[in-house]
Structures are given as C-alpha cells and as structure tokens.
Amino acid sequence: MSQINETHDIQLKSWVASANATGTDFPIQNLPFAVFRRKNSNEEFRGGVAIGDQVLDLGAVVDANLLSGDAAEAAEAANAPALNEFMGMGQQYWSALRLALSRALREGSELQSSLEGALVAQDDVEYALPCHIGDYTDFYTSIYHATAVGSLFRPDNPLLPNYKWVPIGYHGRSSSIGVSGQAFPRPKGQTKAPDADTPSFGPCKRLDYELELGIYLGKGNELGDSIAIKDAEDHVFGFCLFNDWSARDLQAWEYQPLGPFLAKNFASTVSPWVVTTEALAPYRTNWHRDENDPQPLEYLESTQNRESGAIDIRMDVLLETEKMRSEGAKASKLSESSFKHSYWTVAQMVTHHTVNGCNFLPGDMLGSGTQSGPEHEEAGSLLELSRGGKETITLENGEERKFLEDGDKVIMRGWCEADGYNRIGFGSVEGTILPAK
C-alpha cells in the first residue's frame, strides 16, 4: 500500500503558476496520468501528466533525456499511445517517476528551463482512453445503492443474503467504454410493462447514469494464482471517475436470472486522468463493518484494510440540458457522495476477484458500483433520486426530470480533501445522450 512521502507535502509549490491556484484539481501533489495529443493534429497519442492547467508531455521529457534510472524507464514506457506497459511495471517504477516529476516541477528546480517547452495547455489537447482495457468488472459496493435499487426491483427481498458476505460483481463490456466527451445514441431493446402480456421493442424510456469510480489494475497475476489482501493494492495503479450508463427499463426485464446485459453494455464513460494510488495516500480512512453484520471471511480481512482501506473520494453529479446550453445557464447539481461509504474496499475487490485463480492484466479495470451515501440526496443515480420514477426532480432552471432525455449531458466530478494536505481532484467525466438511431 502506498505510504505518505515527500510528494504529498502541503508546502510544495510548482513553477507552473496555475498549479498553485486555490481549488485546482491538479496541484503538484497530484500528478495524474493521461494519454493525449494536440487538438486537430495528426500527432501520435502519448502519455502526459497534469500540472495546473497544463499537460507535461512525457514524449518531450524522454526526448530531452532529463531523467535517470527507474524514472527514465518508467517515462519511456509511459510515452506511448496506451499506458499498459507503464501500468504493468509496478509500484517501484510508478513511485520513481512520480518522485522525479515532483522534484522537476517544484519551485527552484534546475530543470525548469528544460521543461517549460514540454508543457501543453489542457485547453489545446484531446484525450484517448488511458490504456487498452482488456477486461472490465463492475462491482456493487454501496449497500445504500443496493438496498434502494433492490427495494424497487424486489420489494419483498431488497438485499439478497450473499451481499454482506461476498463482493458482488459482473463481467462488463470493455469495448463500449469511451473517454470523457463520449456521445452515444439512446439504446434500444426489449421492455415489458407490468400490465402487458408480452414485451415490446424500442428505445429505452428510463435512461440513467451511475456515479462510480474506475479502478485501473497495474501489475497482474498468473492464471491460477490469487492476490492476498495484504498485497492487493500493490496491483492497483490508480483511479478515475466512471459513468456506467444504465437503461433501467431494459434492466428490469432482462436482469433475472443472469444479471445485466443490454441495459449496461451500450456505453460507459471514464474521465481522462488517472489519479495514482500513491497520490491518494493522505485521504485514506478506516474501514469498518457494523458489529451486527457478518464480518469478512479470513481471506478478505486484514489489520491494514481495517485501518486504512477506505478512501474519502468525494464525487458529485451535474446535469446540463439542451435548454441550459442554449441559454448559457450553468449545469444543475443533482447529488454528492463519497467512496468512503463503500461496503467493500478496493483491496477486498481485488482479492476476491482473484481468489479463484482469475488473472489480471495491466490496464484491466474494476468499476466500484454506484456510490450512494446513507442520505437520499447522496444517491448516485436518478433511479434512486426519483424513487423509481415516482417522484419528479426539479432542476435549478425549473426543468423537470425523472430519467435522462435526449440532449442531456451528465457531468461528474471528484476530489479529495484532508487536514494538513492539499486538495487534489480528478477533473470531470462528461457524456451526452443522442436520439436513438
């Protein structure tokens, strides 16, 4: 597990002035990774690091031959159209590059003059997926979300008995994951009205978002081997924001007996920046299980996980309608929650996923599941906020919603704050719904 070190020091300032601005997502204590190129160019996509409102071009850093040792090897691997090789190198190399870049970007660095030409304004770039996501598993780690949704679909049995014993997940569709800015047509499929004798086919009527975190795996494991909980987070490269779009009416008809299918595989959207596990070290908090609930089985239990397995990553959701865009109005905030409420930790997800010998590859992704908090206003989906479509949500400009309409843009943001440490952020993930084809 990543420990707090000199890169987290709140006193650090950067010679990149925008990194020192109050409220920036990307101070020198963050240094997340993405894959980018200049807009409207034929450049190759390559790795970059966010610093203030700029991107540090790792290609330029490599060409200038400014780094040495493990940091140089890591930068060379990250100077690629996908970060899989870098992710697979492991904690030693991730930390070495983070430390070298932190020192190079600090006020007073001897490398300032050499690196100033390696900066590209974020306003001038476009992003690709940060890596090839070979496999994607979506978990279901918020007990508040699971209970709320279960009560809508199974009023007599909202929380199935296995939920408190095993981290529940399903194998998602990685081919339809896109980077922030993704626009997609409203999905079509079968639905069945409660009073109908047969299902019907057509565009979904209950399109929804899900407020999640994406968790990128780094160094993998061999097929047949499992990852012990004490080692689990050494295999986690970093985190992003993740919107797992959902067609609730398709879901209600198809999800039994095998779970999500067409209701989930038409689109999912990730934020471009990957905040490393090491950057999140100051925002860890203790994880606990209610004494009245079953305690984890031995393979899912450790002192380390109890003491610092939870992470206080705060997230919110905003909705921008076509009318808001045409009138220049700001997006309307719908809800805010935190990953600290998760019933299962990242380490428990990784360990359980591999306990049967399943192998991870660098760049594989886990979804956290919808992150709803204990209060209704902390719900991470419209399904919960509208209580299954029974209540209308009034937006700040007076428009109303129960589920998403064509033209709606959903914006999710994430950030971390803790006493004695600088605020860091994830940027945002945005996606827009187009009419059905």
174 and 47 assigned to the same domain: no
Does residue 149 sit within a domain?
Answer: yes
| Residue 98 binned pLDDT confidence (cut-offs 50, 70, 90) | very high
119 and 153 assigned to the same domain: no
293 and 182 assigned to the same domain: yes
258 and 190 assigned to the same domain: yes
Does residue 176 sit within a domain?
Answer: yes
| Residue 339 binned pLDDT confidence (cut-offs 50, 70, 90) | very high
Strands annotated E in 39-111: 46-51, 54-57
93 and 215 assigned to the same domain: no
189 and 305 assigned to the same domain: yes
What pLDDT does 157 receive?
A: 81
Does residue 1 sit within a domain?
Answer: no
Encode pLDDT of 25-36 as tens digits: 999 999 999 999
Q: Which domain holds residue 40?
A: 6-128
Could you tell me the strand order of the sheet in which 332-338 lies?
182-185, 421-434, 409-418, 314-320, 332-338
For the chain, percent of residues with pLDDT exceeding 90: 95
Q: What CA–CA distance (Å, rounded) separates 350 from 133?
A: 16
Q: Indicate which residue of 8, 145, 235, 353 is catalytic.
A: 145
Q: Is pLDDT of 408 > 90?
A: yes
b/e code 352-372 from CB counts within 10 Å (16+ = b):
bbbeeebbbbbbbbbbbbbbb
What pLDDT does 28 receive?
A: 98
Domain's final residue, options 128, 161, 191? 128
Domain's final residue, options 128, 150, 171? 128
What pLDDT does 386 receive?
A: 97
26 and 164 assigned to the same domain: no
Instruction: List, as residue ranges, the binding site for Mg(2+).
Output: 244, 264, 268
Encode pLDDT of 118-153 as tens digits: 999 999 999 999 999 999 999 999 999 999 988 887
Encode pLDDT of 57-81 as tens digits: 999 999 999 999 999 999 999 999 9
Mean pLDDT of the chain, nearest integer: 96
74 and 13 assigned to the same domain: yes
232 and 352 assigned to the same domain: yes
Does residue 283 sit within a domain?
Answer: yes
Assign residue 306 the CATH number of its domain. Answer: 3.90.850.10
Q: What CA–CA distance (Å, rounded) separates 167 from 348?
A: 7
What pLDDT does 51 receive?
A: 98
Q: Is pLDDT of 317 > 70?
A: yes
Better pLDDT: 258 or 299? 299
Host H or E run for residue 352: helix 346-354
CB 408 within 8 A of CB 430: no
207 and 299 assigned to the same domain: yes
Instruction: List, as residue ranges, the binding site.
Output: 138, 140, 154, 210, 212, 244, 251, 255, 264, 268, 370
Does residue 384 sit within a domain?
Answer: yes
| Residue 352 backbone dihedrals phi, psi, to 5 degrees | -65, -40
What pLDDT does 390 receive?
A: 95
For the chain, percent of residues with pLDDT exceeding 70: 100
Does residue 21 sit within a domain?
Answer: yes
Does residue 249 sit within a domain?
Answer: yes
Domain's final residue, options 81, 104, 128? 128
Q: What CA–CA distance (Å, rounded) separates 215 from 195?
A: 41
Q: Is pLDDT of 257 > 90?
A: no
Instruction: List, as residue ranges, the binding site for substrate.
Output: 140, 154, 251, 255, 370
- In the residue annotation, 235 being an active-site residue is answered as no
What pLDDT does 32 receive?
A: 98
Does residue 218 sit within a domain?
Answer: yes
158 and 13 assigned to the same domain: no
| Residue 96 binned pLDDT confidence (cut-offs 50, 70, 90) | very high
Q: What CA–CA distance (Å, rounded) separates 189 from 107?
A: 56
Average pLDDT over residues 81-101: 98
Residue 228 CB-density burial (10 A; 0-12 exposed, 13-18 middle, 19+ buried):
middle
Q: Is pLDDT of 1 > 70?
A: no
Provide the number of structural domains found in the chain: 2
Per the rule left: phi > 0, alpha: psi between -120 and 50, beta: everything else, 285 is beta
Assign residue 98 the CATH number of its domain. Answer: 2.30.30.230
99 and 183 assigned to the same domain: no
